[in-house]
Structure 1
Amino acid sequence: MEQMEQMEPEAQKAAVRRYGPQEIAAWLVIVVLVTLIVKTLSFIFIPLSVAVLVFFAVGMPMEFLRRFGVPGWLRILLVVSFILDALYWVGGLLQANIMEFVGQLPVFTQKLSEYAAIELQSYGVTAEQGKEILDAFVGNMDGKKMEPLGSFLHAAGGSFFQFIGNLVWVVLFLIFMLAERDGMENRLHNAFGQRRAEKIIKVGGRISQSIEEYLGLKTLISLLAGVLTSLALWLFGVQFALLWGVLAFLLNFIPNVGALLATVPPVLMALFQSGSPGFALLAASVLVAIHFVVGNYLEPKIMGRGLNLSPLVVLFALIFWGWMWGGVGMLLAVPLTAAFNIAMEEYDPSMPLAKMISAE
């Protein structure tokens, strides 16, 4: 017992010596270099990151098919075909919604300005001052103004085949990663030997299983939230119900603020269409109820735990990945950060950092 007590201070001193100023400075230099490389080569890393997230998200259906004895090549064909078919049909309808919305955007912008001017006057703020506040808020990290919503939607509403073309790299990365999935253990044994390979496989298996479960279940829950949102808005007769449902699906990956951000646009649309605050309030109540039930009841029951990320970490993740990759980076920010956090929780040396950025 006394020997163990003597060993603990020695281990702590060794850890301090191991992570001295020089080591910390070296790690900071590595982090900066990696950040610059990832930002510079964003045309490669963006589709690669999307493919990695999809790879983990489809891990559960891939394993389900494997248990039924479906060959590996057929599993890949079925999963990739399903994803492409879903993207083609939903993407085609979504693009039509976006183009129609872009056509009506000047009218919506004018109405929003009128509503905002009325509200700002009650606080003694002019419309010009409100516009300055908004421009300052949406300014990006390098001091330039972000693209207006209209420009972004015009780009998103371009050629549908251009949209499909942008997914080619994602699909290629995904196919090769799925093809390498089954043969990875043999390669690790050949490269590192039996003992070291088993240790790597054990740790990697825990990380992979945790990320697959989180992303797989989170994708299903987000899909449910998106479908219910579209269905509710369609029953209310709100325009662009599919567009708002897809927005709810994407923003459901962002905790705390995602549900709020997904609720505001369709509620404004309901207000613009009807001109009735009561109707808009009713639509907002239904959407809030959907997100509350899905996020506060179903998700904890199904997943067991949430992202376990500090709200401050989520905010910094949105800012960092938005600076790195723009709008796509903001959509990928929380899933990527959550995946890194889960991986760090399963790896002892990075456990302290995982505890620091967790919500607990």
Structure 2
Amino acid sequence: MGISQPTSGVLKGLLITAALFVVLAGLKSASVILVPFLLSTFIAIICNPLVCRMERYKIPKPLAVLLVVIIFVSIVLSLAGLVGNSLSQLSEEMPTYREQLNEQLVWVVEYIAQFNIILSKELVMEHVDPSAAMSLAADMLSGLGNVMANLFLIIITVVFMLFEAPSMPHKLHVALDDPQMRLKQIGKFLTSVNDYLAIKTLVSLATGVCVSLMLWTFGLDFPVLWGVLAFLLNYIPNIGSIIAAVPTMSLAVLQLGPAYAGFIGLGYLLINTVMGNIVEPRYLGRGVGLSTLVVFLSLIFWGWLLGTVGMLLSVPLTMIIKIALESTKEGKWLAVLLSGDEVQESDAKTA
């Protein structure tokens, strides 16, 4: 007796779900190896345009790769030193910030008591702790630093990837054994990822520099640390800038007072409005937009799967999946679901 078609469909769905869970469990178990590899891949994608530009100026490829790697390592080591010193000082100053917080909370509780709103000082101090946001940011940067402890392995992998980059589209074409010349789709896929990451990195770098300069002007402690955090979290559109501003404004409230914290919040808003709504769309065009819900869910998912690096790379990783889905008839409908509203309307016609 044959199995009915609805039952067959249910079994197929269960098998796919089970296989997906097995794959995710394997990826999570292999995260120690997978995370440095993914980081190396994205660094290579970002650095490859520099190598190509140097080759156009008749610089031999080995020398171009060497120069790019030296520049990258110099920047990473310099930032690591500055961020490491800032994190150490932040840890030392954390008790002082907590004392300042307690003093301010006592004043707030006493002030609102005049309006017959009675709150327990101990309860408020237990549940309201802006310094926790600073600790969370410090833990995130420390987690990234732990991954970068494998810097030598990452650099070696990046070097090999940069040498292999020109032949990668052809290799993928041959590996897929596609007689219909899907090489153009493969090239479009790699070019889209490359352009997105390169432009996003430059915009994020400009955002981090502007944030550091703004905070230095206000006299806030550790401006470089918060600038690096703004640079990293700018890879997460829509909500990344908000997450980056929370620990900074928490510190501003404690160190400079609510008024200056408000001005710093306006500064964050201005910087991210200019970078996110004027500069970035000009170079990315329509871009490869994701809906805000997908961005948030991808942040949770990749963070759970790969830790701190997964959170920072959540949008690029989801973007790669979306671009890959757009290149196939079978997956285009899912790419439309991942897209923002304005992209859905234009892509729905071709899905």
Q: TM-score, normalised by structure 2?
A: 0.81
1:232 is matched with which residue: 214, 239, 258? 214
Matches within 5 A, 1:57-136: 57-115=46-104, 126=120
Quick one: distance in 2 between partners of 1:71 and 1:344?
36
Identity over aligned pairs, percent: 33
Give the superposition deviation at 1:74.
2.3
Matches within 5 A, 1:276-295: 276-295=257-276
Matches within 5 A, 1:79-228: 79-115=68-104, 126=120, 150=135, 153=138, 165-184=149-168, 187=171, 196=179, 199-228=181-210
Equivalent position of 1:12 in the other structure: none
Give the superposition deviation at 1:243.
0.4
Give the superposition deviation at 1:220.
0.4
- The residue type equivalent to 2:53 in the other structure is F
Select between 111-120 and 41-50 the one with higher mean Cα deviation.
Answer: 111-120
Quick one: distance in 2 between partners of 1:79 and 1:177?
13
* Count of residues in Structure 1 that have an aligned counterpart in Structure 2: 328
Q: Determine if contact 2:302/2:310 at 8 Å carries over to the other structure.
A: yes
Quick one: distance in 2 between partners of 1:356 and 1:68?
43
**1:33-63 superposed Cα distances (whole Å, 9 cap, x missing partner):** 2111110011011111111222222232233
Q: Determine if contact 1:211/1:339 at 8 Å carries over to the other structure.
A: yes
- Secondary structure at 2:298's aligned position in 1? helix
What 5-or-longer segments of structure 2 have no aligned partner? 342-351
Quick one: distance in 2 between partners of 1:208 and 1:334?
16
Quick one: distance in 1 between partners of 2:66 and 2:150?
20
Give the superposition deviation at 1:266.
2.2
Q: Determine if contact 1:226/1:249 at 8 Å carries over to the other structure.
A: yes
- The residue type equivalent to 2:68 in the other structure is V
Q: Determine if contact 1:102/1:154 at 8 Å carries over to the other structure.
A: no
1:311 is matched with which residue: 292, 304, 320? 292
Q: Determine if contact 1:96/1:157 at 8 Å carries over to the other structure.
A: no
Quick one: distance in 2 between partners of 1:336 and 1:228?
26
Give the superposition deviation at 1:170.
2.2
Give the superposition deviation at 1:208.
0.3
**1:292-311 superposed Cα distances (whole Å, 9 cap, x missing partner):** 11111111112113551111
Quick one: distance in 2 between partners of 1:282 and 1:156?
25
Q: CA RMSD in A?
A: 3.2
- The residue type equivalent to 2:275 in the other structure is V
Quick one: distance in 2 between partners of 1:125 and 1:282?
29
Equivalent position of 2:14 in the other structure: 25
What 5-or-longer segments of structure 1 have no aligned partner? 1-15, 136-146
Give the superposition deviation at 1:226.
0.3
Equivalent position of 1:8 in the other structure: none
Q: Determine if contact 2:31/2:306 at 8 Å carries over to the other structure.
A: yes
Give the superposition deviation at 1:201.
2.6
Assess, with a 3 A threshold, how the Cα gap between structure 1 residues 42 and 115 changes in structure 2: closer, same or farther. Answer: farther
Quick one: distance in 1 between partners of 2:254 and 2:189?
47
Quick one: distance in 2 between partners of 1:89 and 1:176?
24
**1:225-248 superposed Cα distances (whole Å, 9 cap, x missing partner):** 000010111122111000010011
1:253 is matched with which residue: 235, 238, 244? 235
Equivalent position of 1:53 in the other structure: 42
Q: Determine if contact 2:134/2:250 at 8 Å carries over to the other structure.
A: no
Assess, with a 3 A threshold, how the Cα gap between structure 1 residues 292 and 126 changes in structure 2: closer, same or farther. Answer: farther
Q: TM-score, normalised by structure 1?
A: 0.79
